[in-house]
Amino acid sequence: MKPKTSSVILYEHPFNERIRTYLRLEQLFLRLGELVKRDSPIDHHYALATIFEVMDVGGRTDLKTDALKDLEKQKHILNGYRGNPAISNAALNSIIGQLEKCFAGLSQLPGKIGQSLTEDDWLMGIRSRIGIPGGTCAFDLPAYHAWQHLPVAARQQDLQRWMAPLLSLAEAVRLLLTLLRDSGTPQKVMAEAGKYEQMLPQGRTFQLLRLRLDSTGGLIPEISCNRLMVAVRLTRRESDGRLHTSGADAMFELTLCC
């Protein structure tokens, strides 16, 4: 018997550009991990394209600096819990150890994220054409065409080697987002006539909104948020293909993470 598929969909919305970048990187790393495990050349083609996307997103000059600052900030916050009888020292030491490991791995990377890969002329030749429709045909890149005919294990080994300079960033993003998501407390709220608004308390800086909504009613949330308020408009895709505001009351779970 197949396990039941949950009808609840999780939506996440960032409050700032830094968290938006982390979420994009997380999605890319999850996709990359899935594609590399597969066998077909077309999957490995898109795995390589994903590596280039990570380089594009991670190539921001301030990204590594931001991630290092966030890791150090989280370590400082967690160290403040030492001596608290409600906190397990073993669990605290484990998380702080992970933060220190991520910090060390990320700080040792030279230059921008993926900079070492830019020194590989063969890879960069593929990168320059992979965004062109049909730009990686055999007549354009015969060496790449030959690579796609290598045994599966050889292609996977190459992909893992090219992924290696990106893994420190992947682990840092994973840990930072995990800690951020764990900081919020879920609450059930009601969208009356398909709309929900909440003023945010002053003195608190929220970074991520998480919304869980039952999909069986066909509702899709449109989320907007800033430092002052959160607004959610529930919509439904109608027969004309467009999203229209739902006028019905609906309940969903909202979590604000800081």
**CATH assignment at residue 203:** 2.60.440.10
pLDDT tens-digit map of 94-111: 999 999 999 999 999 888
Determine the 3-state secondary structure of 235 from DSSP. Answer: strand
d(Cα 88, Cα 74) in Å, to the nearest integer?
17
200, 228 Cβ separation under 8 angstroms: yes
Across-strand partners of 251? 190
Q: What is the token pair recorded at 115?
A: 């900079």
In a domain, 9, yes or no: no
Q: Based on the fold, state whether residues 91 and 215 are members of the same structural domain.
A: no
Domain that holds residue 225: 184-257
Q: Which of 135, 161, 180 is the last residue of a domain?
A: 180
Q: Based on the fold, state whether residues 119 and 30 are members of the same structural domain.
A: yes
Give me the mean pLDDT over the 222-243 stretch: 94
Q: What is the CATH number of the domain that holds 165?
A: 1.10.3900.10
Burial class (CB in 10 A: 0-12, 13-18, 19+), 108: exposed
Mean confidence (pLDDT) of the chain: 94
- Give DSSP secondary structure letters for 114-144: TGGGGG-HHHHHHHHHHTSTTTT-TTT-HHH
Q: How many domains does the chain have?
A: 2
Cα distance from N-terminal residue to C-terminal residue, the chain: 40
Tally Cβ neighbours within 10 Å of residue 223: 16
In a domain, 12, yes or no: no
pLDDT tens-digit map of 173-203: 999 999 999 999 999 999 999 999 999 998 8
Instruction: Give me the sign of the Cα torsion angle 56, 57, 58, 61.
Output: positive
d(Cα 35, Cα 152) in Å, to the nearest integer?
12
What confidence tier does 2 reach under pLDDT thresholds 50, 70, 90? low
In the chain, where does DSSP find H-type helix? Answer: 17-37, 41-58, 63-79, 89-107, 121-130, 142-147, 152-163, 167-182
Q: Based on the fold, state whether residues 138 and 245 are members of the same structural domain.
A: no
Enter the pTM of the model.
0.93
Q: Which of 139, 155, 180 is the last residue of a domain?
A: 180
Q: Based on the fold, state whether residues 26 and 88 are members of the same structural domain.
A: yes
Determine the 3-state secondary structure of 240 from DSSP. Answer: coil
- Residue 86 has what pLDDT? 83
Q: Based on the fold, state whether residues 116 and 150 are members of the same structural domain.
A: yes
Q: Based on the fold, state whether residues 101 and 88 are members of the same structural domain.
A: yes
Q: Based on the fold, state whether residues 103 and 27 are members of the same structural domain.
A: yes
Q: Based on the fold, state whether residues 161 and 193 are members of the same structural domain.
A: no
